[in-house]
Chain A
Amino acid sequence: MYRRWLWPGFAFPGVLWLIVLFAVPFYAVIAVAFGTVDPVLLQADPIWNPLNWNAGWILEVLGRLAPGGTFFGVALRTIAYVAIALALSLLIGYPVAYYIARHAGRMKSILLVLIILPLWISYLMRMLAWVNLLASDGYVNRFLTFTHVLSQPRDWLGGQASTVILALVYGYIPYLILPLFAALDRIDQSHLEAARDLGASPWSTFRTVTLPLSKAGILGGAVLITLPMFGDYYTPDIVSGAPRTSMIGNQIDFYFHYGGQPTIGAAITVILAAFLTVLMAYYMWTIHRASREVRTV
């Protein structure tokens, strides 16, 4: 019934937009990172032709990321923060998603709304809320000293790694719970009943049936929150501000915004993106596989 060119025609504006304002800018970052630096303005001089690329700046930044370099510590620290934040998020998020998916009953819709709600509250407002609570005379300190958990108020905002990690968990965990929930919700009850019928205890049913079936959801959600976390620079800025808790994103921010050397900033970005591409590729592949199931509309 429809002309064959209709669907590509519909897709054309969107695809064109994404090419011009998404794909090309990506290439611009690479062109700048593999470019040279204009001596007068110390501004970036991108090199667009791959044959002429100057690998000097990429090598320079790789050298700094290597052990002994100035970025080695912050790179390790970023990976550590993200790994710990991810672990904590899974530890908290999985039981929550599991409960809502499988046991919530009448409360399911309400709980769904409640866990989706944080996604629509500005990230910064949520961080602001914690900055207020973690102040020296804020509610957290008052509560903890009142209950004698702490003998005196703790300086949560004085450059603590634990505060940064907790802030990351708080900020990103809603993005993990939702895909986890979706995956767990999709598990067919009949699989579990079959396992129980065959004599498995609740725990081993969980271990041998539920957990493996939710793996795709775990991995998808994990990738979904670690990718942005690696580029996070505002969370350490807001809840800490000390160099000792800075992340690699702060270096990118510095080299771009503080009128510095955008070429170095671009080089760090390219290397970070390459590192994340491995994770991204996995995610894309999972999505592609899932989308093949829904392609037949």
Chain B
Amino acid sequence: MTLHPKERPDGITRRDFLLRTAGAATVVSGAGSILAACASETTVESPTGTGGEAVGPLGLPLARPDKRITIPFWEDPIASGLEPETGGTFTVFNYPDYLYKKLLRDFGKKYGVDTDYTSFQNISSGIQRLASGAVTPDVMEMTPDNLERAVAAKLIKPLNLDYIPNLQNNVWPGLASPFYDVDSHYTVPYTVYATGIFWRTDEIKEDIASMPQPWDIFWQAGDYKGKVGLLSEERETIGMALLRKGILDINTEDPKLIDQGVADLKQLYDICNIKVDDVQYQAVPENRSWLHQAWSGDPIAAYIYYPLVPKGTPPTALGFWKADKGKVPIQNDCWSVCSTTKKPVLSHLWLNYLLDNGIAYSNMVNFNGYQPPLNEISPEKLLADNIVPEHLTNAVLTNDDLGSDSLQYGGLTARGQQLWQDGYSDFTAAG
């Protein structure tokens, strides 16, 4: 499963999370399957639907950009036109350091409630805590991969979009009704990011963007031993090896493909003594890493927050490349309303609040660094406001990057998740 970048136990500082993007997925596999607990069972059953395809816990197929799923309501959404609740405490459940707290406080002041921010370390432990009743938040940050599971366990409420006009008004059409939640029955999007290559143009001689297959640079990085890194993510690393060879099914569960990807990655030990971490947003500007797989928020965060080392290096020393549409993995996070909320109307209004252009912009620029999928927050605007320099505008995504032919690391069956995890373990063990 892909992990949310914030799901690192080492405690990311506020700056660190800048890279973090969603993608934390716990495998979604059939709740209806029976795991035979025979004495030496080590594989996990993966249930299949009528078409022989893998299904999620609701019996729907696993969501993919070209396989849109509509999640049915398990209860009726709240009625329209109700007044927001006041008094008491409004609680947000999210990764640590992933929301500009001032925005939360302002929201509380506007509606006359106290606010609280509870954090989870990774999305699956967050869902478990929610399920066990250990926490009773009003709203929760969600990832597409865990959506079906949360709905199956009735942990999140269906939405009444009358309270969330900003969804249709401001959000990219591609995410206003995303493939994993057609008609936005349960979620609204939060941040969006893509995976690419981040490097120091003053250290790397090659012109990566004009290479026929830019991912090959890692296999040609012999001159940069010890300064090359990949994201410490099982999906991103093996997925990159697949994309490099032109295999676009990054949700494959074919052991042969996964093994080949791992074998390719293993070549990197000798070629460039590859490192695996998630510190590129700091390490690249500080010249500790010259070439690193990165998320699109990283160069933006680097540009905003980290002065380049050595002193006086121009910002053009930062380079970013991402593949064209259909070949670049794009991920996004969302928000949803928890079933435990005592303030459903206010919760809807919070979702709307976060999709306000000004609020989302403030969240990104003053704190988050992650791009919200709003029409107004375009590459041109970010360029004009000097959030992003000219040469890094390709790190800003647009609605055009989405579509049924776009790539996203989606949920896998239990067996699939095991394959990817064990492959990644093999790669990091360097045995």
Contact = CB atoms under 8 A, between A and B. Distances in A.
Given A40-B31, A259-B26, A158 B225 contact: yes
Contact of A242 (B1, B149, B275, B425): B275
Nearest to A243: B430
Contact of A42 (B27, B30, B275): B27
A193 interface: no
Contacts of A135: 288
Given A74-B431, A157-B226, A243-B269, A39 B425 contact: no
A244 B414 contact: no
Contacts of A60: 42
B430 A254 contact: no
Interface residues of A, number: 47
A249 B26 CA distance: 23
B35 A250 contact: no
Interface string B213-235: 00000000000011101001010
A77 B430 CA distance: 10
A158 B421 contact: no
Interface in B395-431: 414, 417-418, 421-422, 424-431
B427 to A, nearest CB: 6
A156 to B, nearest CB: 9
Contacts of B225: 155, 158
A241 B431 contact: no
A254 B428 contact: yes
A40 B57 contact: yes
A67 to B, nearest CB: 10
Interface string A32-59: 0000111111110100000000111101
B273 A242 contact: yes
B421 A261 contact: yes
A70 B277 contact: no
B82 interface: no
Contact of A54 (B3, B41, B427): B41
Contacts of A246: 428-430
A260 B421 contact: yes
Secondary structure of the B contact surface, majority rule: loop
Q: Which of A40, A60, A69, A244 has the most CB of B within 10 A?
A: A40
B45 interface: yes
Contacts of A45: 37
Given A159-B226, A244-B430, A261-B421, A40 B29 contact: yes
Contacts of B26: 41-42, 259
A155 B227 contact: yes
Contacts of B122: 259
B226 A36 contact: no
Nearest to A38: B35
A275 B123 CA distance: 34
Interface string A112-140: 00000000000000000000000110000
Nearest to A234: B10
A71 interface: yes
Nearest to B418: A261
A159 B7 contact: no
B204 interface: no
B35 A243 contact: no
Given A36-B35, A70-B422, A244 B273 contact: yes
A241 B276 contact: yes
Contact of A159 (B35, B123, B124, B275): B275
Given A56-B41, A60-B42, A259 B3 contact: yes
Interface string B112-152: 00000000001111001000000000000000000001000
A70 B425 contact: yes
B431 A39 contact: no
B9 interface: yes
Nearest to A57: B42
Interface in A17-42: 36-42
Interface of A: 36-43, 45, 54-57, 59-60, 69-75, 77, 135-136, 155, 157-160, 240-246, 250-251, 253-255, 257-261
7 contacts: A39-B44, A42-B27, A42-B417, A74-B429, A74-B430, A243-B430, A261-B421
Given A59-B42, A69-B431, A253-B9, 6 more contacts: A36-B35, A39-B35, A73-B431, A155-B227, A242-B269, A243-B429
